[in-house]
Amino acid sequence: VTTTAPADCRIAFADALVALAEADPRIVAVANDSIGSSNLKAFKARFPDRLVNVGIAEQNLVGVSAGLASAGRIPFTCGASCFLTGRALEQIKADIAYSRHNVKLCGMSSGLAYGELGPTHHSIEDLAWTRAVAGMTVIVPADPAETAGAVRAAAAMDGPVFLRISRMPVPPVHSPGDAFVIGRARRLRSGDDVTIVAAGVMVARALDAADRLAADGISAAVLNLSTIRPIDREAIAEAARRGPIVTVEEHTVHGGLGSAVAEVVVTAHPVRMRLLGVPGVFAPTGSAEFLFEHFGLTPEGIRLAARALVHGEG
Partner 1 sequence: VQHEIHALHKNAPRVEALAARARRIRAASLRMVHAARLGHPGGDLSAADILAVLFGHVLRIDRANPTDPSRDRFILSKGHASAALYAALKEAGFLSAADLATFMQPLSQLNGHPDRNKVPGVEANTGPLGHGLPIAVGAALAGRMDGATWRTFVLTGDGELQEGSNWEAIMAAAHFGLEHLTVIVDRNGLQQGDATERTVALEPLAAKWRAFGWSVVEVDGHDIGELLATLTGVPLETGRPTCVIARTVKGRGVSFIENRADWHHRVPSDAELAAALRELGEEAS
Residue 158 binds to partner 1 (criterion: CB under 8 A): no
Least distance between partner 1 and beta carbon 132 (Å): 17
Q: Which stretch binds partner 1 (CB under 8 A): 60-68, 105-113, 117-125, 203-211?
A: 60-68
Regarding beta strands 137-139 and 161-165, do their DSSP bridges make them parallel or antiparallel, or are they unpaired? parallel
Residues 258 and 277 sit within 8 Å (Cβ to Cβ):
yes
Least distance between partner 1 and beta carbon 152 (Å): 23
- Sequence-separated (6 or more) residues with CB below 8 Å from residue 255: 125, 127, 128, 129, 131, 132
Catalytic residue among 58, 125, 146, 249: 58
58 assigned to active site = yes
Residues 89 and 61 sit within 8 Å (Cβ to Cβ):
no
Least distance between partner 1 and beta carbon 66 (Å): 5
Residue 8 binds to partner 1 (criterion: CB under 8 A): no
Regarding beta strands 51-53 and 194-198, do their DSSP bridges make them parallel or antiparallel, or are they unpaired? unpaired
Q: Which stretch binds partner 1 (CB under 8 A): 58-66, 167-175, 207-215, 239-247?
A: 58-66
Residue 235 binds to partner 1 (criterion: CB under 8 A): no
Q: Based on CB atoms, which residue is closest to partner 1, 65 or 123?
A: 65
Q: Which stretch binds partner 1 (CB under 8 A): 69-77, 119-127, 221-229, 246-254?
A: 69-77
Least distance between partner 1 and beta carbon 253 (Å): 30
Residue 22 binds to partner 1 (criterion: CB under 8 A): no
Q: Which of 34, 38, 39, 65 lies at the binding interface for partner 1 (CB under 8 A)?
A: 65
Q: Which stretch binds partner 1 (CB under 8 A): 33-41, 88-96, 104-112, 289-297?
A: 88-96
Q: Which of 1, 71, 175, 177 lies at the binding interface for partner 1 (CB under 8 A)?
A: 71
Peptide bond into 299 cis (omega under 30): no
Task: Please tell me the distance from the alpha carbon of residue 119 to that of residue 139, in angstroms, as a whole number.
Answer: 22
Task: Please tell me the distance from the alpha carbon of residue 124 to that of residue 119, in angstroms, as a whole number.
Answer: 9
Residue 132 binds to partner 1 (criterion: CB under 8 A): no
Task: Please tell me the distance from the alpha carbon of residue 252 to that of residue 278, in angstroms, as a whole number.
Answer: 4
Task: Please tell me the distance from the alpha carbon of residue 162 to that of residue 143, in angstroms, as a whole number.
Answer: 16
Q: Which of 14, 18, 40, 62 lies at the binding interface for partner 1 (CB under 8 A)?
A: 62
Q: Which of 29, 63, 307, 310 lies at the binding interface for partner 1 (CB under 8 A)?
A: 63
Secondary structure element (H or E) that encloses residue 257, with its range: helix 257-268
Task: Please tell me the distance from the alpha carbon of residue 101 to that of residue 107, in angstroms, as a whole number.
Answer: 17
Task: Please tell me the distance from the alpha carbon of residue 274 to that of residue 234, in angstroms, as a whole number.
Answer: 20
Residue 159 binds to partner 1 (criterion: CB under 8 A): no
Residues 135 and 98 sit within 8 Å (Cβ to Cβ):
yes
Helix, strand, coil in percent for the chain, rounding step 5 = 40, 20, 40
- By annotation, the residues acting in catalysis are 58
Residues that bind partner 1 (CB under 8 A): 28, 49-50, 52, 54-55, 57, 59-60, 62-73, 75, 90-91, 94-95, 98-100
